[in-house]
């Protein structure tokens, strides 16, 4: 199959490109001019220069392909990036869908997030039909992914075959932007990790890639598929990462109000330094709520696999060490 991958030079996108090449697909990657294709170097792929915020470049990149994996997105919980994030996540999605429609592309798989699905705080799992209720919390990333999904549903109503996948917190190789991988860096740099209690649904990057490919092949248009794995408390996740790295750390739970003060101080400093801090009030608000999501639909309809979290953490750390991002330990 001849496919286009947006965001193919990033963490999830590059892993997806590796999977697609391995199965024999002809892959074109949309990349920004200044973004080096380091994570897909050496692969037999076609590079199309452009940006999802530039419609003409997207229109050109989608010509001649049968399917599009729209993975490109900006993840940020820092308000100064919000305008750019909405342009990428919402307007960029609109551009991809319109280009697909104009070029007669058979199917689009849109990478969304569990942030586009509602949450519950009663410890019961959420599914694809849980109403989105993040709005009052004013979390820009969640809002942007919610609005992007609305663009997909409009396109589906207009006759485009588009399927939505909603990964959880992804662990795996090639996370050079330190998304979920920032937890490894924090363990490496700290002896004590302090934070409020919370939990989320994790997943393995290779499983998520398999879920994307299955969605392209047999997902139902307009349907969401949660691509998750183990639901874990943050304290337990840090403990597991510490064990995998062989780096002891002490984990201390702190009251939410204390974390709020710390996040506020980091945010205020960031407005001076113009650098996104490791914790922000938005990220704290998102982490406060239980994010427990079931992948039963994806398992049933897509044959979605679920790698044990410990295995995902081990291969993530191994990649960081082998590629010089973290030091090896005996």
> In the chain, what are the domain boundaries?
2-171+202-230+291-308
pLDDT of residue 330: 64
Instruction: Kindly give the pairing relationship between strand 231-233 and strand 199-204.
Output: antiparallel
Query: Alpha helices, DSSP H only, in the chain?
Result: 11-22, 55-61, 82-86, 92-102, 140-157, 182-189, 205-218, 234-245, 256-273, 281-288, 296-302, 309-322
**pLDDT score at 320:** 98
| Contact yes or no for 27/90 (Cβ under 8 A) | no
State how far the Cα of 192 lies from the Cα of 140, in Å rounded to an integer: 30
- CB contact at 8 A, 118 and 290: no
Q: Burial letters for 269-294: b for 16+ Cβ neighbours within 10 Å, e otherwise?
A: ebeeeeeebebbbbbbbbbbbbbbbb
**Cα separation, 325 vs 224, whole angstroms:** 35
φ, ψ (nearest 5 deg) of residue 194: -115, 140
Number of Cβ atoms within 10 Å of the Cβ of 152:
25
In this structure, is the dihedral angle defined by the CA atoms of residues 9, 10, 16 and 18, taken in order, positive or negative?
positive
- CATH of region 2-171+202-230+291-308, choose from 3.40.50.2000, 3.40.980.10, 3.40.50.720, 3.40.710.10: 3.40.50.720
**Are the CB atoms for 68 and 96 separated by under 8 Å?**
yes
Is 294:114 a contact under the CB 8 Å cutoff?
no
279: Cβ contacts below 8 Å, ≥ 6 apart: 259, 262, 263, 266
| Beta pairing partners, 274 | none
**Whole-number Å distance between alpha carbons of 166 and 298:** 10
For the chain, 330 residues long, give each residue's pLDDT as a single digit of tens: 999 999 999 999 999 999 999 999 999 999 999 999 999 999 999 999 999 999 999 999 999 999 999 999 999 999 999 999 999 999 999 999 999 999 999 999 999 999 999 999 888 999 999 999 999 999 999 999 999 999 999 999 999 999 999 999 999 999 999 999 999 999 999 999 988 888 999 999 999 999 999 999 999 999 999 999 999 999 999 999 999 999 999 999 899 889 999 999 999 999 999 999 988 999 999 988 888 999 999 999 999 999 999 999 999 999 999 999 999 886
Cross-sheet strand order for the sheet of 224-227: 46-49, 26-31, 2-6, 67-70, 107-111, 162-167, 224-227
The burial of 68, by beta-carbon neighbours within 10 Å (0-12 exposed, 13-18 middle, 19 or more buried), is given as buried
Give the torsion sign (CA, 281, 282, 285, 290).
Answer: negative
């Amino acid at each position: 199959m001849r496919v286009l991958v947006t965001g193919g030079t990033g963490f999830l996108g590059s892993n997806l490109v590796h999977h697609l090449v391995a199965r024999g697909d002809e892959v074109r990657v949309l990349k920004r001019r200044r973004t080096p294709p380091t994570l897909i170097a050496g692969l037999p792929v076609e590079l199309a220069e452009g940006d999802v915020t530039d419609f003409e470049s997207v229109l050109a990149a989608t010509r001649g392909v049968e399917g599009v994996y729209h993975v490109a997105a900006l993840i940020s919980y820092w308000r100064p990036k919000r305008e750019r994030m909405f342009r990428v996540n919402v307007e960029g999605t609109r551009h991809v869908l319109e280009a697909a429609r104009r070029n007669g592309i058979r199917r689009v798989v849109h990478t969304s997030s569990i942030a586009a699905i509602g949450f519950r705080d009663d410890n019961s799992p959420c599914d694809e039909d849980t109403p989105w209720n993040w709005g009052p919390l004013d979390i820009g990333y969640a809002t942007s992914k919610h609005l992007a999904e609305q663009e997909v549903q409009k396109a589906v109503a207009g006759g485009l075959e588009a399927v939505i996948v909603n990964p959880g917190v992804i662990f795996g190789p090639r996370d050079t932007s330190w998304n979920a991988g920032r937890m490894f860096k924090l363990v490496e740099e700290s002896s004590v990790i302090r934070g409020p209690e919370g939990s989320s649904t994790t997943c393995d990057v290779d499983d998520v890639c398999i879920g994307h490919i299955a969605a392209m092949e047999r997902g139902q248009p307009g349907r969401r598929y949660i691509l998750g794995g183990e639901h874990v408390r943050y304290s337990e996740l840090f403990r597991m990462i510490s064990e995998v790295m062989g780096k002891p750390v002490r984990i201390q739970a702190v009251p939410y109000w204390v974390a709020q003060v710390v996040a506020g101080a980091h945010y205020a400093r960031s407005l001076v330094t113009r650098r996104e801090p490791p914790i922000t009030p938005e990220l704290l608000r998102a982490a406060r709520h239980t994010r427990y999501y079931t992948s039963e639909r994806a398992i049933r309809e897509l044959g979605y696999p679920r790698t044990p979290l410990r295995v995902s953490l081990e291969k993530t750390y191994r990649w960081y060490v082998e590629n010089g991002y973290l030091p090896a330990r005996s």
